[in-house]
Structure 1
Amino acid sequence: MRRFVLPLVLALNACVPVTPGDTPTRALPQASDLPPMKTFGAPQPGSPIRSNNDLALDFIELSFQLESGRDLPVFTRFEGPISVRVTGAPPASLGTDLRRLMHRLRDEAGIDIFEAAPGNNANITIQAVSRAQICRALPHAACFVVPNITDISQYRPNRRSARTSWSNLRTRQQLAIFLPNDASPQEVRDCLHEELAQAIGPLNDLYRLPDSVFNDDNVHTVLTGFDMMILRAYYAPELRSGMTRGQVAAKLPGILARINPGGEDLPAQFATRTPRAWSHAVQTALGPGAAPAQRREAAAKALEIARAMGWKDHRRAFAHYANGRLLLASDPQAAQTHFRAADQYYAATKGARLHRAYVATQLAAYAITRGDGDSASVLLAPHIDQAARNENAALLSTLLLLRAEALDLQGRSAEARTVRLDSIGWARYGFGPDWAVRAKLREISSLNPLNG
């Protein structure tokens, strides 16, 4: 299921829920006086640079475990073409985003997936329902996917039964994805990418993956080049449902040599596994239910574990970032020290360029509060294109709004107005309704000392 461990672009100081588990998780509208919503053009996924030894280890751990850590006895996937249908009350953006995603799955992963004719049954039902319905079915989840049902009303009566157990599957035939129809277009799309990827492919998430949606930090919001390679391997003709871990492992070297020949001669990195204690500390720090003191204690523990593990990758950076977020209100100087450390570790990690864009919002926001438009502009400049390449409209609009404030501080008011206007179109996709867009505008504007 999609969770919100790292929602940097939703609010600069917010923390929202995260939950582990086995389930891979109004009034009539009025005319808006805001600029029209912007959408992204052709996808620009990056090519993963990985040793095939590392890819094989990632593939096995993604494919033979659930997010809770429970082992899966056999490999499962759809055998044959995969049909998809949409039910419920889908938002206007869903159809376009679904067609773009299915085109990518066919083109980049070689998966035979198509939209079923209206009124027909399908292998995968995508049901658009309210966030309240999703919360009643599975608290703290933004969206989720379940086997062997087609309607959200069927979930609660069957949630602990063999019918909806991923462990009992031997092949995939029918699944349902439940998405919110009252969220921002980007949130709906993000849910679509993660849940459809898990509906057809691996069910696990791994914190050690820096460039994947199969990661609980939720930095990447659309399927990456790494994800498409994993899915291409998942549907390789050498594999089939019902194979054991050992049987799949024996086939992977040949599969990866064919689809990723550049990874044959690369040295393996053998990234360490992520201890459950670290994951639990992160979930406590940034998830629901904990008091502020408990959150800070958990974040400090996550950093302590990262240091003890000798990590110098994005997980060490993430621990610093969590500490920075939780210290923003009480100790801004200490928070900035953690953000700078996070940026340094992200900079040293291949595949973590998007992570740096998130951290840049925190560093630049602090510079703006101090009236330092020059430093803020320098911090923001390298990351705007990165947010666009990764199709993250919420992050892109936040970076642009911060840039507009920095330009105002530099006395470049005409440029600031142009950049701010550009940001609003992306904010409408990233944040949704006009009130949310205006709230984001006010939030960023309030950082600027020129605005009182």
Structure 2
Amino acid sequence: MFRTAACALTALALAACTAPAARVEAPTRAAAAPLALPPVKVFTAPRPQPPQRSNAAVARDFLDLHFQLEGGSTLPQFTRFETPITLRVTGTPAPGFTRELNALLARLRAEAGISIRRVSGETASITIQMVSRNEIRQALPKAACFVVPNVSSLAEYRRNRRSPRTNWALLRERDRLAVFLPNDTSPQEVRDCLHEELAQAIGPLNDLYRLPDSVFNDDNMHAVLTGFDMLILRATYAPELRTGMSRDQVAARLPAILARLNPRGEGAAAQGLPETPRAWAAAYERALGPQASLRERLRAANKAAEIARDLGWIDHRRALSHYTLGRMLHIREPELALQHFLTARDFLQGLPGTGIHQAKVAVQLAAYDIATGNGASALARLKPAIEAAASHENAALLSTLLMLQAEALELEGRIAEARRVRLDSLGWARYGFGPDWVVEARLEEIAALRPSGS
């Protein structure tokens, strides 16, 4: 029910998913001049891919998303809004927020068939309150944003945070919820929070690591609602379902619902990934936890990789285990880190729904290519990754990939093309990373990858 403050998968130290809270000085080069940054770029046309697995697998995912919570407890009944959903915004919206909200509401109406509209009154089904990151962290220290039932403001949540009314496990109907979003971070972070938290306000409460193609996953791989997510939300508001139904009652109706909503899933092979044991999730989360020491995090990352190996996984979760190890080792043991990145790539190749995962691995591998002067190899890796980042609307990743592409083009002597690509990267970087000084620092860090004299 909240998005973590630490992005689960960053791309090197040079490609973190959000700007840091406090300013640090950007790396500098001799004679470096301040950049004249272009306008912020934004995504205009969503390109969600439909789910690529069977309806039987989707039904299992639907039930686990709606009838379980992240801690492992189960929910006794199905809940959703039973009347048209109204939404209001309070606080001080971030720049560009209205455009993002309108675009998401249009998608929910068109792709998920949900009756949802914005209102300007004093009450609504859902209140989105825009506050500072500091206020969010004071209320929930590990969260970048979050959603709570039965309140309409952060002040009301603080008064009732230990009350049964704000306990998701005790929720029996949805009438009034609040979503708390930051208004002082990058445009992408605000938008990502909006998609994830509003989706959980109106839909499933659980997250599942086994889902490679969903925002309902704590790995934070996806930035915006996917085709799978829209199918889950459309099924959530199917007329055959209603609040109060048991898991068995919902399960009995799902096959017909999914056959109607997703006919392509009827002929697909009925395969699904195995459950994610709590031991792997705990180790993975420990590896990413900012409170632990590096030694403890490395131990946890190795534990996650060992569990994935022992379970015989060959899916994105095993790749994630190696990718995490590579990130942690790339400064201290770069050659070992490279092997982990290559292993992650090998597990991801050919897996449906993992284009964004492969793009993030490509950042790491292209950085190694550039550092060793192999521009041609970097360009080959970056081309499909750039397409994946664009189609998944991840501006932070897209800008990083374009910056890397510019460096690789310069290595190949294609100077004019490199300048065009680098300029293109800056507009996306302003959306993905926010403040101009962060954009400039990112550009400097990537430029520093190239061998001296090249």
TM range (shorter): over 0.9
Q: How does 1:86-235 map to 2 (within 5 A)?
A: 86-116=89-119, 118-235=120-237
Query: Which of 56, 59, 71 in structure 1 is aligned with 2:59?
Result: 56
Confirm or deny that 1:47 pairs with 2:61: no
- Indicate the SS of the match to 1:142: strand
Distance in 2, Cα, partners of 1:10 & 1:159: 37
Q: Residue 418 of structure 1 aligns with which residue?
A: 420
Change (3 A) 1:322 1:10: closer
| Residues 149 and 166, structure 2, Cα contact 8 Å, conserved in 1 | yes
User: 3-state DSSP class of the match of 2:129?
Assistant: strand
Equivalent residues in 2 for 1:39-438, closer than 5 Å: 39-116=42-119, 118-438=120-440
* Unaligned segments of structure 1, at least 5 residues: 17-25, 27-31
CA distance in 1 between partners of 2:398 and 2:268 (Å): 33
- Pick 1 or 2: higher relative contact order, CA cutoff 8 A, min separation 6: 2
Task: Say if 1:397 and 1:14 are closer, same or farther in 2 by CA, change over 3 A.
Answer: closer
Please, which runs of 5 or more residues in structure 2 have no aligned partner? 24-34
Offset at residue 350 of structure 1 (A): 1.1
Q: C-alpha distance in 1, partners of 2:12/2:346?
A: 23
Structure 1 contact 313–348 (Cα < 8 Å) conserved: no
TM-score (ref. length: structure 2):
0.94
Residue identity opposite 2:59 in structure 1: A
Counterpart in the other structure of 2:28:
none
Give, in whole Å, the separation in 1 of the partners of 2:417 and 2:286. 42
Q: 1:334 to 1:81 in 2, by over 3 A?
A: same
- Cα offset, 1:270, TM superposition: 2.9
Deviation, structure 1 residue 156: 2.4
- Partners of 2:233 and 2:453 lie apart in 1 by 49
Kept in 2, the 8 Å contact 1:404–1:416? The answer is yes
The root-mean-square deviation of aligned C-alpha atoms, in Å, is 1.8
The Cα shift of 1:52 comes to 1.1
Q: Do the aligned partners of 2:215 and 2:223 also contact (CA within 8 Å) in 1?
A: yes
Deviation at 1:439, TM superposition (A): 1.3
Shift of residue 377, structure 1, vs aligned partner: 1.0
Shift of 1:120: 3.6
Q: Could you list the structure 1 runs, at least 4 aligned residues long, displaced by more than 3 angstroms after superposition.
A: 9-16
Is contact 2:11–2:360 with CA below 8 Å preserved after alignment?
Answer: yes
| 1:232–1:10 CA distance, 2 compared to 1 (3 A) | farther
**Worse-matched range after superposition: 225-234 or 282-291:** 282-291
- CA–CA distance in structure 2, aligned partners of residues 154 and 380 of structure 1: 47
Taking structure 1 as the reference length, what is the TM-score of the superposition? Answer: 0.94
| 3-state SS of paired residue (1:8) | coil
**How far off its partner does 1:6 sit?**
2.7
CA drift at 1:15:
10
> For this pair of structures, how many residues does the alignment match?
438
1:38 aligns with 2:41: yes
Cα distance between partner residues in 1 of 2:413 and 2:253: 62
The one-character-per-residue Cα deviations of 1:20-78 (angstroms, maximum 9, x if unpaired) are xxxxxx9xxxxx94100011121111111221111111000000111222211111100
Relative to structure 1, is the Cα distance of residues 121 and 11 closer, same or farther in structure 2, using a 3 angstrom cutoff?
A: farther
Q: Which amino acid aligns with 1:106?
A: R
- 2:208 and 2:341 mapped to 1: Cα distance? 23
2:96 partner SS: helix
Displacement of 1:443 after TM fit? Answer: 1.2
Matched residues in 1 for 2:378 and 2:144: separation?
33
Task: Specify the code of the residue in structure 1 equivalent to 2:110.
Answer: D
Aligned AA (1:76): T
Among 2, 5, 8, the residue aligned to 1:6: 8
The Cα shift of 1:353 comes to: 1.1
**Preserved contact between residue 17 and residue 396 of structure 2 (Cα < 8 Å):** no
CA distance in 1, matches of 2:259, 2:395: 35
For the residue of structure 1 that corresponds to 2:148, the secondary structure is strand
Residue 29 (structure 2) aligns with: none
Report sequence identity in percent. 61
Deviation larger for 7-16 or 330-339: 7-16
The amino acid that maps onto 2:424 is D
Conserved 8 A contact 2:12-2:327: no
What is the rounded CA distance, in whole Å, between the counterparts of 2:17 and 2:255 in structure 1? Answer: 41
